[in-house]
Homo-oligomer: A and B are copies of this chain.
Amino acid sequence: MAKFNVKNPSGFPEFAPAAEQKRQEWLQIISTAFKSFGFIPVTTPVVEREENLLGKGGNAKEMYVLKRLLDEEGDKSHSGNALRFDQTVPLALYVARHQNEITFPFKRSVIGPVFRGERAQKGRFRQFDQCDIDVIGMEKLSLLNDAQIPAIIINVFKALQIGAFRVRINNRKILTGLFKSLGIEETKMKATLDIVDDLEKLPREKILSAFTENGFNQAQVDKILEFVSAESTDFEALKTLCDHDEYLEGVTELQTVIEALEAMKVDKNFYQIDTSIARGLDYYTGTVYETTLTDHPEFGSVCSGGRYEDLASIFTGKKMPGVGISIGLTRLFSQCLDAGLVKPDRSSPTEVLLLAADEVALPNLLSLGSDIRAAGIVAENYLETKKLAKQFDYADKLGIPYVVVMGEQELSKNIVQLKDMKTGEKDEMAFDEVLNVLATKGL
């Protein structure tokens, strides 16, 4: 027998049944939250033209291209394609392809795999799921959309139940306006934002030397550090700190976003203004977001995004501003598993398992199983010929909460036994009463 290495390829993860069951619950939570705000789930192919991916910021060193194993037919249509590395470029291409079928503002959500040929290491995957939402406007897009985004993030993270978290909100214009007022040139804007972005991650001497390397003077450095450490959240106070137009525009935009969040009655414990947030990508032009787990700052930002002015005019020929966020699901889920924030407690969606103590009861149990499913409850008949103890083992191992048992005796009396697998409690009831009793259990 040939010996196969069955391990999954390095960097292409999968999860054992119990963890996978939890992951499926996460997918359900995230997609439900996205949908509840009217986002349209859109799936695009995982394969796009190489030139389009490269044209819009794809890193050639990390890009996987497709080849046919045997390409003897000379069919050129198989070459020139690559696996997508994010969900934003495919969104831009989708919008370009379907401009005339799309009603703007276009609210699209997506949950699906992206691929990066990175060096495999812990927490770095070559295939991982990204969960994105974006609102795309034609020519313009109301700032109120920037307020809706944190409301959605908060719904998601409340539902995931992985502990305290905080969405931190800023407006990039506040920082760039401030930098400009300090005489920092346009060409150094990106470098300055990057340094500010690293403030929490790097030791102070590294930050200072980064400033020095970029030729900042002491006054500029002092002013920047003073500003970002002030944790100002009072808009009137913020407005007095700098009078640069772009700075003031940023403060006003931020204020609009926060006021809309208040109108939406979003709990203030879950978000805060943080004027030190920059976000690395030069893509962003206004509102930016970061989300951190309060008890796990080492996870870094678990959900980030922001406002951008140009989705992809190179593909569409039109100016389409947008605002969006992304959750790196595979990474976050793995981190939560490792940190014990997610506790896989069952490896099956089954709520009720039906066991035949004697084969003669099976037809009635098959019929009952159909009835329970028709009532919208996940119900499974155990179909193998095994001793009852072994059948209970199956329920135990999968973490199934309720078990219905029927044997010759029960059949003769037209009753069943119902066992609550958590409490061990047993009930006896008429065959016709099972559905009513399950309803009282909240099923």
Contacts and interface: CB of A to CB of B under 8 A. Distances in A.
A394 interface: yes
Contacts of A260: 363, 366
A49 B9 contact: yes
B137 A384 contact: yes
Given A101-B18, A314-B2, A36 B378 contact: yes
A315 B384 contact: no
- Best-surrounded residue of A9, A48, A362, A364 (most CB of chain B within 10 A): A9
A388 to B, nearest CB: 15
Contact of A369 (B68, B70, B264, B378): B264
Nearest to A83: B66
Given A17-B101, A20-B42, A38-B348, 17 more contacts: A4-B315, A7-B49, A14-B42, A14-B43, A14-B94, A36-B373, A37-B378, A39-B349, A40-B347, A45-B127, A63-B69, A65-B69, A66-B67, A69-B117, A103-B347, A103-B397, A260-B366
Contacts of A270: none
Contacts of A233: none
A387 to B, nearest CB: 14
Closest 7 CB pairs of A and B: A38-B380, A12-B45, A38-B350, A263-B363, A144-B383, A263-B366, A16-B101
A41 interface: yes
A273 to B, nearest CB: 19
Number of copies: 2
A255 to B, nearest CB: 14
A363 B18 CA distance: 44
Interface stretch (A73-81, A242-250, A413-421): A73-81
Nearest to A33: B373
Interface stretch (A50-58, A179-187, A188-196): A50-58
A82 B297 CA distance: 37
A97 B4 CA distance: 12
A227 interface: no
A9 B24 CA distance: 30
Interface string A371-415: 001001011110111000000001001100000000000000000
Contact of A45 (B1, B13, B347): B13
Interface string A337-358: 0000000000111100100000
A69 B60 contact: yes
Interface in A4-46: 4-14, 16-18, 20-21, 23-24, 35-46
- Best-surrounded residue of A38, A62, A113, A127 (most CB of chain B within 10 A): A38
